[in-house]
Each structure stands twice: as structure tokens, then as C-alpha cells.
Amino acid sequence: MNIIDNDLLSMQEARILVENAREAQRKLAAFPQEKLDEIVERMTEEIEKHLKELAKMSNEETECGKWEDKHIKNHFVCKYLKNRLKGMNCVGVISEDK
């Protein structure tokens, strides 16, 4: 009989996700600001298409609150972050103290 330790499996999955995130971060660090702005714009456009679905999934998983309220919150956060991140310098010299 084979026994799978789900805790160890979860830890390994987390390690793999962290390794992948670090590699992605290294690649993104080499992108020009314009490319990063384009990526953020496209990501938020795609997320906006699925806000209702994501709210319903979250509600089903957590069994907490109303999916309609989660949808409103997700919509607000998505729009806010899109506007907040637009034009924000993320590469090169971000600011200087003079």
C-alpha cells in the first residue's frame, strides 16, 4: 500500500511555485517599462472578463459572504489597481532624493 503525505506534497508544490515565481521575476526585471505597462493592461482586461466567475468560485470555496459582494469588491480592486499601476515606474531609477 502506497501512502502519500499530502503535507509534503503541498510543501513541494509551494517550492516549485516559488522557484517559478523567482524565474518570472528575473525575466520581468529585464523588461522595459512600456512592456510592463502593456502586461498590466492586458492582465486587468482579462481578469475583468472573469470577475463574476471568480467571485462565484471564491464564494463556493469559502462559503463566506455573498458572491455579488465579492464581485463588487473584485471589480473595484481591479479598476483601482489598473489605474494605480498605470504609469508607475517599476524599472530603472524609480525616484531620487536630492
pLDDT tens digits for range 7-31: 899 999 999 999 999 999 999 889 9
Per-domain boundaries in the chain:
6-85
Mean pLDDT, rounded, for 82-89: 84
pLDDT at 1 (0 to 100)? 67
CA atoms within 13 A on the CB side of 46: 6
Grid look-up 510543501 returns: 11
For residue 28, give Cα distances in angstroms to 6, 13, 60, 71: 32, 22, 34, 29
Spatial separation of the C-alpha atoms in residues 38 and 62, rounded to whole Å: 33
Q: What is the pLDDT of residues 56-82, one digit of tens each?
A: 999 999 999 999 999 999 999 999 988
Whole-prediction pTM: 0.65
Distance CA(22)–CA(63), nearest Å, equals: 33
